[in-house]
Amino acid sequence: MAKLIAAAKKEGTLNVIALPPTWANYGNVIKDFTAKYGIKVVSANPEGSSQDEVDAVKSENGTSKAPDVLDVGMAVALVSTSLFAPYKVSTWSSIPAAQKSPTGLWTQDYGGYMSIGYNSAKFGTITSVSQLLGSKFKNSVALNGNPTEANAALNGVMMANLAEGGTASSIAKGVAFFHQLKQAGNFVPVQATNATIKAGTTPVVINWDYLNTASVVDQGASWKVFVPANATLAGYYAQAINKNAPHPAAARLWEEFLYSQGATGGQNLWLQGGARPVEMTAMTSNKSIDASAASSLPPITGTPVFLTATQATDAATYLEANWAKAIS
């Protein structure tokens, strides 16, 4: 570890990509990493998508600007493994086996559950997904993006699908639900941002719980986050190291920092941003978890559902053919 720190300090820089400062507390994660190791973090294209990340790895390959580390959705991670260098962090054993590639090509880092964030002052308490079809939700419900493009939106449709009695293998009932939502005049197609939430244009947003917390969307106590018991859909992002990283040691040190369990380590920092770190179960048993941050997460009941790679691909294929028809 000491050797790694020395080598990373010698490189002096780390290139990261597509990390919005308000996403999973990344603003502080970057700040703390620089403060701790004195390594400058160059953050490219913070609003980029996972696909943008691997595109940058390819297009900037061999240059000093190429991203060193990636934080990508699983759909992108699984088809891009030829770009990654295997690495096992020192806390490897704390990560559930299903959430990492056996060789360490990718390792899931943090995640959460698909949730409905809403203004309870306006709507009262939401207790089921089907409530959203009611007339008081006229012009109110938005997804986070187009489900044929954004992973969060695809999972939003999948959550509705599970709540409507569909299975993870077929997203058809979810698409039908959004068709009904559109017919009822409740669906809002605009891009949901903190500004549209504040303006009241998108008072109900379906998104990952860690992107939907009151502090992230800049709302007061009346903003609530609901994870339906019959549709606890989990999604995790994954870390990977560019195999041709311009700063290979800094990249590995970054991973060690992200997966460290200390009070000021990456896992607790993510938790403070409302995301569930992948080592959460292990950290709960070894008591290294930030208990107050953990207790402020939205409560989860029911068995979490994880989409397999095939299920996610099938859902995307179905959406490509049917989403536009259902919603226009």
Partner 1 sequence: MAVAATTATGARPGRAGRRPSFAWIGTVPFLGYIGVFLLLPTGIVIWNALRNQTGGLDLSSLKVLGNSEVRGFFTGTLELSAISALIGAVFGAILAYAVASGNPDGVVRRLYLAGSGVLAQFGGVTLAFAFLAAIGPTSGFLARASWYYDFPWGIALIYAYFEIPLMVLVFLPAIDGLKVQWREAAESLGGSTWDYWRHVGGPLLAPAFTGATLLLFANALSAYATIQAWENQIAYTVPQQIYISINSEVGLSNVNYADVLALGMVIMVAIIMTGYALLQRRAARWLR
Q: How far is the CB of 248 from partner 1 (least distance, A)?
A: 26
Nearest to 70 by CA among 82, 85, 53: 53
Q: Within 10 Å of residue 138's Cβ, how many Cβ atoms?
A: 12
81 in contact with partner 1 (CB under 8 A): no
Amino acid at residue number 78: L
Nearest to 238 by CA among 81, 116, 113, 115: 81
Kindly give the pairing relationship between strand 141-143 and strand 204-208.
parallel
User: Which member of 120, 131, 201, 244 binds partner 1 (CB under 8 A)?
Assistant: 201
DSSP-derived secondary structure letter, 192: P
251 in contact with partner 1 (CB under 8 A): no
82 in contact with partner 1 (CB under 8 A): no
User: Which member of 13, 45, 120, 191 binds partner 1 (CB under 8 A)?
Assistant: 191
**Helix 151-163 with 172-183: angle, nearest 10 deg:** 90
- E-strand stretches of 120-277: 141-143, 204-208, 223-226, 233-242, 276-277
User: Which member of 70, 162, 278, 315 binds partner 1 (CB under 8 A)?
Assistant: 315
Q: Show the binding pattern over residues 13-52: x = contacts partner 1 (CB under 8 A), - = does not.
A: ------------------------------------xxxx
Q: Show the binding pattern over residues 295-314: x = contacts partner 1 (CB under 8 A), - = does not.
A: -----------------xx-
Contacts with partner 1 by CB under 8 A lie at 49-52, 55, 72-73, 75-76, 79, 138-139, 142-143, 145-151, 153-154, 185, 187-192, 195-196, 199-201, 312-313, 315-317, 319-321, 323-324, 327-328
